Every structure is written in structure tokens, then in C-alpha cells.
Amino acid sequence: MNEIDIPSCANNSACITCNFLPIQNNTGMLLKEEEKAMLNGDMGEPRRWAMEHMIRVGRFFDAEDFVAVSQAHIMADTESLGEAGVEFLEKMAASPRDQRRVRIPMITDPRGIDFCHYKRLKQTDLMANLEQRTIDAFEAMGILMTNTCINYQTIMPPVRGEHLAFGDTGVVIYCNSVLGAYSNFEGGPSALAAGLTGRTPRYALHLDENRRATKRYRIIHQPESLSDWGALGAMVGTRAGSYWEVPVIEGIERQPGSDEMKHMGAAMASFGSIPLFHIVGITPEAPSLEAICDPAMLDTEIIGEQDFESFFARYGGKGDKLDVVVFSAPQLSIIEMQSIADLLDGKKIHKDTALLAVTSPVVAADARRMGITERIESSGALVLEGMCFYQSYAREMGEANGWKRLMSNSAKLVNIIGGYGYQPTLSSMENCVASAIAGEVV
């Protein structure tokens, strides 16, 4: 490998990102021959942009070189993209076919629209149009429209040690922690850059030295429901509080399942921007405490029953009229779908309360085939697929439908949704369903 200077952007009509200043010389990153060719534009403008973008990021984080990645996963809902982001993707998708196609398997995070139900949710044709334009651009680039944030449960779970460029913080923390894969949080632009090049800058969690525990927590109250696991993740995330901290958790007395790890990780990432945790004796990089830290160097913080109670008390609302119950963030597994169907069998939700169960297209197809969707929707609830509530113009949906009091068993969702004008309540799945039937928070 040779260290090279980075050429100035030509800033001509072929430049996708003509508002970019030319990147400065002396990046300090080592580039292989193919990477130099991509950066020089020899493999087309999209890959040139991708290399330039990743060098900016790599330089920010002192990456010495790039690492090859085997899969990319892109978050790009249209609420985040806006018109500007969609136009950015369309320009890239208009490049010649051999220049615009991604080089590694690349899949999508949930979209903002379920085309079968957007009018019922009072989303607009403008939103649907923006969504369709994005899909057209992604498909032109060879990106698979999986529309899921539970790809580790449904599409292709990564293998331990596999380097990835995954978006969606819940996906990243699960794949790093539970599966032992290597990924940073990749926002949409960086995930796209990784897909176009098959590379990502080697920094943070791609380096073993950054995967050792830096914060230590002992649990003296065992989580039971999925919302308990989410609450635990939220508390650890809040306490650890930074992308650059790695929590290790001791004291968990039983083997958690995939949905429990899913809720815990998603909440930890949401509340603390945490990309990796260890659980001693459970997660693959932590067969023992000594394997991932020097125990004498870390103080232990206790998390007990009172902490759980205080956490749930932050999301009250008991007795309030309930506008909407949302099971989402992350999308529901087929097991969670079955659990909701079991709770709703033979019952009707209150006429003034909506209940939304949001899942991936793969799970939705299974749920339809197995009759689970019909059982849920017979109650008056709605199954949505390929979207996620908070990525779906939640503010506009809330205003159009008159939704204020929102109830969920997802700690991640209640953390996010306050900023969109909702009053969130966190409770168990059972209590959420009972409240939807009663029409008030019980």
C-alpha cells in the first residue's frame, strides 16, 4: 500500500456533489490500488464521491486505511432524506449502469410508507411520491428493498468477525454485541458509500482495541417483559452515554432470547448512542469478565428494582385517554406478532384508539400466511409492513389523526417520539393491548 495525495474534486458537470469543497491533500490514509482508482474517478462518479466522502469521515476519526465489508444496510427514510436527499440519490442513480451498481449485497432499513395503508394513516400523496422516487433510485443501484431493521432475525445474520457497514443503530448494536460482527453506525450516506466501494474506513469498532469494556454494570433485578429489557438497555445507555463507551453487564440470571436482546440493544443505542455491549457468559466476546476488561480498573454500578420503577415512572399517563398504541421500533418478529394476536383474539380495541403492529415485509408475509394478521386486524388493529412508526412522518401522522397519547412496549420508541409532539407511555405488551381495548392507559 502506498500513501497518496488526494486529488482535488474536478467540480465539473459530472460531480454529483458540486457543493462540496475539494478535499485537502495529506489525508494520511493508506489506499490500495483499487481504492486509488475509485478515488480518481476511474470507476465512475458515484464511486469517486463515495471514496471522497469516506476519506473525510476516516480523517475525522484517524482511520489509517479502509477495511473490506461484506454487506451494507442503508437507512434512508424520506422524512430524513427530504427532497434534497432524494435528488441526491436520483443523480447517483442516473449514472451509467456499471458505475451506479453497488458492489456488495446491500439492503434497506424500513421505509416511511406502507403503500397499502398510507391513506388510512393520513399520510399524503406527496410523501408516497417521494418514497417511490427513492425506491426507484435504490433499485437502479442494485439495492435490495428489504425494508427492515430486523435483518439479523430475518434476512442474513452476520457471522462473528464479519466486517459490515450497517445503518440503523439497533441493527448495529445487535450485530456487534450478540453476533460478534464488526460495524460502526453508518448513516445513509456512509452506508451507500460502503455499498458502492465495498469498503469502509477502519476506525472505532473495526479495531479490536475499541471493543473492550469501559463501563461495568451489575443487575440485581431481573428483566422479564420486552419492555423491561428495553428499560434495562435505556438505563445502561443513559449511564454509559457515549458512542465511545462499551458497557459490560453482569448479573443476568437467564439466557435472554433474540427479541429480548433486540429491545435491549435498540434502547441502549437510542438512549446512549452505544454501538456495542457485552453480557458476561452470554455474548460471544465475553466468555468471562477478564476476556473483555481488567475488572480491577472498572467500578461497578448497580441497577436494581427501584431504578426500573423510576424509569417506567417517567412515561406515565395512567388514566389518560389513549390515542394510539404502537408496536414498532424495532419491527416485530413473527413471535411478537403471534403474541399480539394471542392477546387480541376475540376482542375489539376501543373505537377512539388505534393499534398499529409494524413489521418487516418478510414477517408480514409469514403472518398473513399463518392467519396471524387476520387475527390482529379482526380486533380493529392494523398491521403495517416495511415501515417503522418514527421513520414515517410521525409528526404529520399525529397531527392528521389527532394522536397525542401514545403507548408502546418499546423503550426506543418512547424515547424518540416525544420530539414529534407525542406524550409517550411505556408499558408491557399485555398492558398496551389492555389499554387499547379500554381506550385509556390502564
Partner 1 sequence: MESFELHCHVGVGPEVSGEALVTDDNFSARYDLDRIKGIFSRPQHKLAGQSYIDKILVFNTAKGGVASAWMLYEMASRKIAPRAILFNSVNPILAQGGALADMALCDRFEEGDVTQLIQTGDRVTVNPELGLVTVERD
Residues that bind partner 1 (CB under 8 A): 17, 19-21, 24, 53, 56-57, 59-61, 75-77, 79-85, 88, 167-169, 184-190, 203-204, 241-244, 269-273, 390-391, 395, 415-416, 418-421
Residues 6+ apart with CB under 8 A from 125: none
CB of 87 to partner 1, least distance (A): 9
Torsion region of 124: left, alpha or beta (phi above 0 gives left; psi -120 to 50 gives alpha): beta
Distance from chain centroid for Cα 18 = 30
Tell me whether residue 110 or residue 386 sits nearer to partner 1 (CB atom).
110
Q: What is the smallest separation between the CB atom of 378 and partner 1, expressed in angstroms?
A: 34
Q: What is the C-alpha separation between 14 and 100, in angstroms, rounded?
A: 13
* Shortest distance (Å) from residue 421 CB to partner 1: 7
Cβ 299 to partner 1 shortest distance, Å: 20
What gap in Å lies between CA 379 and CA 349, rounded to an integer?
6
Q: Which amino acid is at 111?
A: R
**CB-wise, 84 or 297, nearer to partner 1?**
84
**Of 61 and 254, which has the nearer Cβ to partner 1?**
61
Task: Name the amino acid, one letter, at 16.
Answer: I
Residue 379 Cβ, how far from partner 1 at the closest point, in Å? 31
Of 95 and 134, the one with the shorter C-beta distance to partner 1 is 134
Asked if 389 and 328 touch (Cβ cutoff 8 Å), the reply is: yes
Is the Cβ of residue 227 or residue 270 nearer to partner 1 in the bound state?
270
Largest CA distance in the chain: 68
**CA separation (Å) from 86 to 80, 81, 82, 127, 133?**
10, 6, 6, 12, 7
Q: How far is the CB of 329 from partner 1 (least distance, A)?
A: 10
Q: Which residues make Cβ contacts (< 8 Å) with residue 70, sequence separation at least 6?
A: 104, 105, 158, 162, 163, 164
- Shortest distance (Å) from residue 188 CB to partner 1: 5
Nearer Cβ to partner 1 (63/280): 63
* Residue 185 or 277 having the CB closest to partner 1: 185
8 Å CB contact between 207 and 244: no
Of the pair 109, 385, the CB lying nearest partner 1 is at 109
Closest CA to 217 of 256, 268, 275, 270: 268
Q: In this complex, which beta carbon is closest to partner 1, that of residue 308 or of residue 422? A: 422
Query: Between the CA of residue 399 and those of 194, 393, 396, 423, what are the distances in Å?
Result: 37, 10, 5, 13
Residue 299: HSE in the Cβ half-sphere, 13 Å Cα cutoff = 4
| Beta carbon nearer to partner 1, 167 or 247 | 167
Grid cell in block for residue 172 = 448495529
> Distance of CA 188 to CAs 86, 164, 177, 386, Å?
12, 14, 21, 17
* Residue 84 Cβ vs partner 1, minimum distance, rounded to whole Å: 3
Q: How far is the CB of 348 from partner 1 (least distance, A)?
A: 34
What is the Cα–Cα distance from 380 to 363, expressed in whole angstroms? 20
Q: Rank residues 88 and 403 by Cβ distance to partner 1 and give the closer one.
A: 88
User: Minimum distance from CB of 170 to partner 1 (Å)?
Assistant: 8
Q: Are strands 354-359 and 324-332 parallel, antiparallel or unpaired?
A: parallel
Taking the complex as a whole, the smallest distance from the CB of residue 438 to partner 1 amounts, in Å, to: 26
What is the distance between the alpha carbons of residues 209 and 205, in angstroms, rounded to a whole number? 8
CA distance 421 to 295: 43
